Amino acid sequence: MRPDAREEPALPRDARSRRYLMCPPTHFEVTYSINPWMDPGKPVDLSLALAQWEDLHDRYRALGHTVELLEPREDLPDMVFAANGATVVDGRVLGARFAYRERTAEAEEHLEWFRAHGFTEIHEPSHVNEGEGDFAVTSAYLLAGRGFRSSSLAHDEAQEFFGRPVIGLDLVDPRYYHLDTALSVLDDETNEIMYYPGAFSPGSRAVLARLFPDALIAREADAAAFGLNAVSDGRHVLLPQAALGLFEPLRARGFEPIGLDTGELLKGGGSVKCCTQELRP
Ligand code: ARG
């Protein structure tokens, strides 16, 4: 008798080597609150934050990825969340425009970096978008979050600039204020994602179910542990170790989950993906 298809072990996946942009948390602290995770009364252990960030950085290097570094600025404590500073697809750079003035100056730091590193197609945005915080890239679409930070007009701007269809998704739970806190691309070639439905409006949930019927559906506890704030190279999925419920479902699909402790960075409302901007050639 043929074994049930579900019992066959998943084939291991192929990783693709990536180029990432990160910013060390040299000046990381929580002095203001612009998302529900941030409590300025809670002290940050800076040396622990640095060690957690370095662990992530070193993992990428050990997996064969290239990591570029942004110079941290003392007056910009959230700069460690480098994913928010731009979106790069096909070597084209869409700059960010932050929703809160506390982070406004980060956008220019990113643009400067791109200008100095040979990127020539750079678009300075007219509308609020927080980079990869709200834009997720698959081969077919640019998935785009809105509701708390990036605006719908920014979605149109991104579609025009990248020439890729943008799927606007409405975020409705303030704990999941950026798309990358609620959805993660696992394989950008085969359009496989994981997400937490509770973060989205009913209509957006229906859109996701229609476009990604085979998506890995995360439970609330794993979303709350920032398990969707993950980075995948197509095979290895780096994610907070506390998101225990995601490990087996990832393995069952042939991915290799790698759990990391990002507890200090969580005090700023970010984890693995927030610290990582992907520079797509
Ligand atoms: N404190 C930052 C903010 O609220 C955290 C950003 C997290 N980044 C992310 N890509 N979700 O803006």
Domains, the chain, in order of start with CATH, read 19-278 (3.75.10.10)
What was the pLDDT predicted at 33?
Answer: 98
The pLDDT of residue 1 is above 60: no
Question: For 194-215, what is each residue's pLDDT tens digit?
Answer: 999 999 999 999 999 999 999 9
- Determine whether 275 is an active site residue: no
**Phi, psi angle pair for 74, to nearest 5°:** -60, -35
Question: For 61-84, what is each residue's pLDDT tens digit?
Answer: 999 999 999 999 999 999 999 999
Going by C-alpha positions, the residue among 83, 55, 67, 52 that lies closest to residue 17 is 67
DSSP element (H, E) containing 13: none
The pair of structure tokens assigned to 123 is 């678009």
Going by C-alpha positions, the residue among 254, 253, 258, 218 that lies closest to residue 238 is 258
Confidence class for position 192, pLDDT limits 50, 70, 90:
very high
Instruction: Please give the model's pTM, rounded to 2 decimal places.
Output: 0.95
Residue 6 CB: number of other CB atoms within 10 A?
7
Residue 87 C-alpha to ligand 1 middle, in angstroms? 15
Question: For 104-134, what is each residue's pLDDT tens digit?
Answer: 999 999 999 999 999 999 999 999 999 999 9
Catalytically annotated residue among 23, 178, 236, 275: 178
Q: What is the position in ligand 1's atom list of the atom closest to the CA of 274?
A: 10
